[in-house]
Amino acid sequence: MKKEDAARGGSAKAALRRLARNWYILAAASAALLALDLFVGGSGAAAALAVAFVLAVAAFFPGKRREGMPEKGDDALTRDLGTLPALHLAAAVQDPLYVFDEGGTVVYANEAARTAFGSTVQGTSLQLRFRAPEMHDFIARVLEGGSGPFATDYTERVPIERAYRVSAMPIGEGSGLFVLLFKDQSEARRIDRMRADFIANASHELRTPLASIAGFIETLRGPARDDPDARENFLQIMQDQTARMARLIDDLLSLSRLEIKSHMKGGEHIDLKQLLESVRDSMAHLAAESNVAIELDLPEAPVEVQGDRDGLVQVFENLLENACKYGGSGGRVVITATAAEQDGSKRVTVTDFGPGIAEEHIPRITERFYRVDVENSRAQKGTGLGLSIVKHILARHGARLSIRSRVGEGSSFTVIFPPE
């Protein structure tokens, strides 16, 4: 009963607030109705009834409220920001934040600051916590005064390197307190470095064949103008170089498409056994050129995954092509598949028995343009982007690539699909 009484009381208060807020409209409507009734010779009773009806509608049917604007005075919707403790607001900030006083000592550190820089006891000097000279100078400038805001760059190198944009501002007027905020820029700077490296590498890879083509054109116009044998030889080299540039541009476009659509929606059910047999057949000509025998070791049961068939074909064609080109000295390549591991994952491994890969190269081998042997890679018409494309396609499928190799013993590239 108390809840019902409270609800009725709340409704009555809301109705009175709506009447008070719209008093001028109600007054105008009432005057208009009364004048109309008197004008037609009435006694005013009809007008009074009409006014009562208008009041009832205004009181019990809320007017249109602008989106995001609660009714003033409505306790369920209005929250006075001034009643929130400042520490609660600071704790809600997801970036590392410190509050310090005029002496440069820490008054408060939020959870993000404790996670990023470790626990800081209240009363600790900021200059003792951050010993880098740039931070000492920055804190000193903040404490010297000025309207601010102040900003600087700071790099935390332990336990891992992180780059921050640090800003500081006085809190209020005359409070003697300042706020220090760290904005993590590590990911943005990493992307900037990747972009710069990518442009530099792509420019270098394209510049080499272009310079070669330009040199042969100059020779054909000069000393080899009337030499048909030299002309035929140079034209063949120019054709090979343009084909290399076309492969490089195609791989760059593939990477761009994969990065734009980094997540795959749905997909079709694919039997990896059939797919691997098809890839083996399509790469038979390359295996014959490399004097390599491709062997399949597949289970009797289907090995089904969900994904993009064309993307997975590209993955296994790339791995098989690399095995034939760079591990062909072993004479054979073995493709194995397992229907289900103990953890529910499904695996496909491409193994060659060639020269192998030194351990220091394995962590970087899927980077763009990274080559273990630059000259051999170019001789094999590689672009340095194949394994990077493989990694991106597998990431779209929620899969990953595991690489194992020993010098002189060959290499194994294993695609691991997650449990469905």
The residues of the chain that CATH labels 3.30.565.10 are: 268-417
CATH of domain 89-184: 3.30.450.20
Q: What is the largest CA-CA distance in the chain?
A: 119
223: confidence class by pLDDT, cuts 50, 70, 90? confident
For the entire predicted model, the pTM comes to 0.54
65: confidence class by pLDDT, cuts 50, 70, 90? very low
Please determine, looking at this structure, whether the domain spanning 188-260 carries the CATH number 3.40.250.10: no
Percent share of the chain, pLDDT over 90:
15
pLDDT tens for each residue of 236-284: 888 888 888 888 888 787 777 777 666 666 678 888 999 999 999 988 8
Mean pLDDT of 178-195: 85
Cβ count near 70 (within 10 Å)? 12
Q: Which of 251, 294, 206 is nearest to 393 (CA)?
A: 251
72: confidence class by pLDDT, cuts 50, 70, 90? very low
- What whole-number distance in Å separates Cα of residue 77 and Cα of residue 75? 6
Enter the DSSP assignment of 163: E
Using the predicted structure, report yes or no on whether residue 310 has a pLDDT greater than 60.
Answer: yes
**Can you point out the beta strands (E) in 86-128?**
97-101, 106-109
Please determine, looking at this structure, whether the domain spanning 268-417 carries the CATH number 3.30.565.10: yes
The residues of the chain that CATH labels 3.30.450.20 are: 89-184
The residues of the chain that CATH labels 1.10.287.130 are: 188-260
13: confidence class by pLDDT, cuts 50, 70, 90? low
